[in-house]
């Protein structure tokens, strides 16, 4: 056997191998448990489990492994003595002058990702720079355009990292204080923009700098919103961060909401991210906090939906997020009335009518069905108060559109849906109107516009709807049986199957 082949086949010392990957360690680091791993492998492990893989002992979530320089030098010396042409190292962000290409071991190699990998240290460094800038702004209540641009550059780098891979996004989310810092960016920049606009007549030179800073501020907010939404934080994680902020300041949570509402009114690029984050934030807020939401939340959400009805300028994700905000918040306090006062009922009726019309000529029926479901769910919430029912009855097509929903979606979408949620919500709305807002004119309108006929079809459908939905339809029909059973607007076949009065 040749000398070169003997060297190449020489076994790598076991203490040079990472216990996780069983490959030669390129950047050995040691946990508090005393076990050494390759940095890339252990950081990936700790994202999923706060334990030492070998000892199974608990490891703190914010643990920063200690570099093992002695072992690194031993590995480098061994490589220099046994390999003349080592392979290229994997792409990393580790800035270390001692980094050295290491050899392949006899173990089976793994397929490595082609995207750039980032380290916890680099992410923590970027977040530290952002945090320092935010503290400076909070202490001086003023920021220059240069400092804002620097913050925007740092946020841009963090945004690019998050966009590159799922691993990078998980790593960013796992760095202690990352989400808190990004949310603080929204709060501080929103406050800075407000103060700079209110003080622009005080000092001309300072005003010029403030305007330039405000331009950079917009980019920083956009980046922070994009990063936060890309992390896809779990409800538990988001709730934990928001609760921690609220402990520091009783009003922080509402300030977060106000900052997101402000972002919704800015550039189109910010709207989708701000809307999605607002829906996520309100979903984890306590009923007490939801009851104190400002009216501006509902005015902005409704205005976005109204504009979309006219010009179709929102993405589906933004539209859904606005609807989720209405559905998730209007059960608490006077939020129903706030939404009704903002014109939500008329906007929702117009939206349902538009979706029902467009779905006849659109191949993407499931998407439009989901929008109808959310819009009808929001309408059901709003009709739980007298103001909501009055607004629905006052709309020229309100009752008719709700009635048509019960059959239109069934005929076109039964193939793709096992349960028609929109129909269930529509029946709930009609029952509420028939019970609490049924003037003689409304009763007559429900018969003339086909609402009564639709309720008869739902009540006597065979396994198309849930038992609860069919029972609600029958209950609604019994409320005004005298006026509807013999109505000339009702087909004789439907009169024959009309539910008997109790």
On whether both 9 and 142 belong to a single domain, the answer is no
Confidence at residue 191, expressed as pLDDT on a 0 to 100 scale: 64
Confidence at residue 413, expressed as pLDDT on a 0 to 100 scale: 45
Per-position b or e across 472-482, b if 16+ CB within 10 A of its CB: bbbbbbbebee
Q: What single string gives the DSSP state of each residue in 112-157?
A: PPSSPP--HHHHHHHHHHHHHHHHHHHHHS---HHHHHHHHHHHHH
Total domains, the chain? 2
Contact 385, 337 (CB under 8 A): yes
On whether both 63 and 148 belong to a single domain, the answer is no
Residue where a domain terminates, one of 261, 285, 309 = 285
On whether both 70 and 121 belong to a single domain, the answer is no
| Residue 327 domain-assigned (yes or no) | no
| Residue 484 domain-assigned (yes or no) | no
On whether both 130 and 276 belong to a single domain, the answer is yes
10 Å CB burial of residue 306 (0-12, 13-18, 19+) is middle
On whether both 132 and 236 belong to a single domain, the answer is yes
Q: Could you tell me the CATH number of the domain that includes residue 78?
A: 3.30.40.10
On whether both 246 and 155 belong to a single domain, the answer is yes
- Provide the H-helix boundaries in 9-116: 39-48, 69-82
On whether both 210 and 278 belong to a single domain, the answer is yes
Residue where a domain terminates, one of 59, 82, 105 = 82
| Residue 301 domain-assigned (yes or no) | no
Q: Which residues contact 146 (CB under 8 A, 6 or more apart)?
A: none
Take residue 500 and report the two structure tokens written for it.
Answer: 């008997």
| Residue 296 domain-assigned (yes or no) | no
Contact 185, 224 (CB under 8 A): yes
DSSP 406: H
Residue where a domain terminates, one of 224, 250, 285 = 285
On whether both 206 and 147 belong to a single domain, the answer is yes
Confidence at residue 439, expressed as pLDDT on a 0 to 100 scale: 93
On whether both 157 and 214 belong to a single domain, the answer is yes
Confidence at residue 451, expressed as pLDDT on a 0 to 100 scale: 93
Contact 288, 294 (CB under 8 A): no
- Can you give the pLDDT of all 502 residues of the chain as single tens digits? 444 444 445 678 888 889 988 888 888 999 999 999 998 888 778 777 788 989 888 888 667 889 999 998 888 888 887 753 333 334 333 333 333 333 333 333 333 344 455 678 888 899 999 888 887 766 655 556 677 788 888 999 999 999 888 888 888 888 888 998 999 888 887 665 554 444 444 444 444 444 444 444 556 788 999 999 999 888 888 888 888 777 766 578 888 999 999 888 876 778 889 999 999 999 999 899 999 999 999 999 999 999 998 888 888 889 999 999 999 999 999 999 999 999 999 999 999 998 887 766 666 677 778 888 899 999 999 999 999 999 999 999 999 999 988 765 544 444 434 346 888 899 999 999 999 999 999 999 999 999 999 999 888 887 778 889 999 999 999 999 999 998 999 988 888 888 887 5
| Residue 207 domain-assigned (yes or no) | yes
| Residue 178 domain-assigned (yes or no) | yes
On whether both 8 and 146 belong to a single domain, the answer is no
| Residue 174 domain-assigned (yes or no) | yes
| Residue 197 domain-assigned (yes or no) | yes
- Provide the H-helix boundaries in 165-200: 166-174, 178-198
On whether both 126 and 273 belong to a single domain, the answer is yes
Q: Give the predicted TM-score (pTM) of the model.
A: 0.72
Which of 336, 266, 335, 349 is closest to 305 using CA atoms?
Answer: 349
On whether both 52 and 186 belong to a single domain, the answer is no
Instruction: Write out the residue range of the structural domain in which residue 201 sits.
Output: 115-285
């Amino acid at each position: 056997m040749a000398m070169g082949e003997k060297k190449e086949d020489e076994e790598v010392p076991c203490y040079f191998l990472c216990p996780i990957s069983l490959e030669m360690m390129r950047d050995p680091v040691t946990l508090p448990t005393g076990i050494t791993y390759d940095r890339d492998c252990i950081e990936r492990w700790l994202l999923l489990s706060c334990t030492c893989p070998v000892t199974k002992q608990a490891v703190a979530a914010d643990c920063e492994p200690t570099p093992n320089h002695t072992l690194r030098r031993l590995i480098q010396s061994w490589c220099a003595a046994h390999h003349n042409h080592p392979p290229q190292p994997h792409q990393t962000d580790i800035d270390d002058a001692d980094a050295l290409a290491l050899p392949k071991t006899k173990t089976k190699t793994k397929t490595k990702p082609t995207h750039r990998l980032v380290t916890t240290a680099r992410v923590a460094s970027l977040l530290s720079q952002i945090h320092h800038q935010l503290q400076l702004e909070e202490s001086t209540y003023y920021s220059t355009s240069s400092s804002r641009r620097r913050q925007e550059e740092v946020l841009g780098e963090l945004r690019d990292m998050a966009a590159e891979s799922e691993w990078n996004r998980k790593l960013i989310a796992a760095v202690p204080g990352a989400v808190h810092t990004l949310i603080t960016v929204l709060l501080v920049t929103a406050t800075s923009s407000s103060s700079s606009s209110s003080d622009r007549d005080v000092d001309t030179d300072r005003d010029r700098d403030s305007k330039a800073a405000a331009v950079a501020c917009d980019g920083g907010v956009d980046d922070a919103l994009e990063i936060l939404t890309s992390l896809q934080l779990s409800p538990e994680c988001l709730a934990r961060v928001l609760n921690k902020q609220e402990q520091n300041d009783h009003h922080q949570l509402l300030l977060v909401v106000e900052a997101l509402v402000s972002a919704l009114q800015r550039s189109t690029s910010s709207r989708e991210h701000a809307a999605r984050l607002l829906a996520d934030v309100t979903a984890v807020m306590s009923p007490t906090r939801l009851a104190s939401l400002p009216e501006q939340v509902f005015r902005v959400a409704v205005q976005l939906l109204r504009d979309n009805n006219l010009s179709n300028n929102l993405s589906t994700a933004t539209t859904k997020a606005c609807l989720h905000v209405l559905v998730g918040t209007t059960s608490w306090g006077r939020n129903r009335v706030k939404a009704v006062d903002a014109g939500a009922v008329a906007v929702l009726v117009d939206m349902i009518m538009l979706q029902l019309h467009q779905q006849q000529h659109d191949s993407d029926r499931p998407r439009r069905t989901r929008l109808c479901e959310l819009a009808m769910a929001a309408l059901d919430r709003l009709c739980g108060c007298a103001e909501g029912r009055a607004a629905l009855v006052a709309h020229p097509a309100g009752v008719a559109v709700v009635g048509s929903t019960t059959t239109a979606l069934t005929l076109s979408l039964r193939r793709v849906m096992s349960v028609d949620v929109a129909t269930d919500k529509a029946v709930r709305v009609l029952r509420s109107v028939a019970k609490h807002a049924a003037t003689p004119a409304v009763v007559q309108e429900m018969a003339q516009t086909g609402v009564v006929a639709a309720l008869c079809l739902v009540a006597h459908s065979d396994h198309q709807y849930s038992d609860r939905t069919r029972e609600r339809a029958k209950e609604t029909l019994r409320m005004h049986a005298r006026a509807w059973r013999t109505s000339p607007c009702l087909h004789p076949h439907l009169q024959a199957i009309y539910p008997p009065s109790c």
